[in-house]
Amino acid sequence: MTIQKIQENNNLTIKLEGRLDTITAPELEQELKGLLPGVEHLVIDLTATEYISSAGLRVLLSAQKTMNRQGDMLVKGANEVIMEIFEVTGFVDILKIEEA
């Protein structure tokens, strides 16, 4: 997985390319830990993300919890498979999702 970061003042966009799975989710978690302090608007761009397993969902939920306290978070670009995962797990009600 490739993690691309675009930071501008209090806005941070994270573009994820590849699979957000058991192996790669800890990398993202580590990155976010360092980057999120001070961020008010977080965008997670999943346009190039193939799939997300439960390990990835855990990281997204943690990021959402952090952003609940300091601003907002938007998820965009999710493909059909990922949208289905968000739906069955109830993440559609937790995350703010901009449909692709």
Which residues contribute to the site for another protein (CB under 8 A)? Answer: 21-23, 50-55, 57-58, 61-62, 64-65, 68, 80-81, 84-85, 88-90, 93-95
Whichever of 6 and 23 has its CB closer to another protein, that residue is 23
Q: Which H or E run includes 62? A: helix 54-70
Half-sphere exposure of residue 46: CA atoms within 13 angstroms, side-chain side:
23
Distance CA 69, CA 46 (A): 23
State the first-to-last Cα distance of the chain, in angstroms, to the nearest integer. 20
Shortest reach from residue 3's CB to another protein, in Å: 18
CB atoms within 10 A of CB 1: 17
Shortest reach from residue 8's CB to another protein, in Å: 25
Whichever of 70 and 89 has its CB closer to another protein, that residue is 89
Whichever of 12 and 57 has its CB closer to another protein, that residue is 57
Whichever of 8 and 93 has its CB closer to another protein, that residue is 93
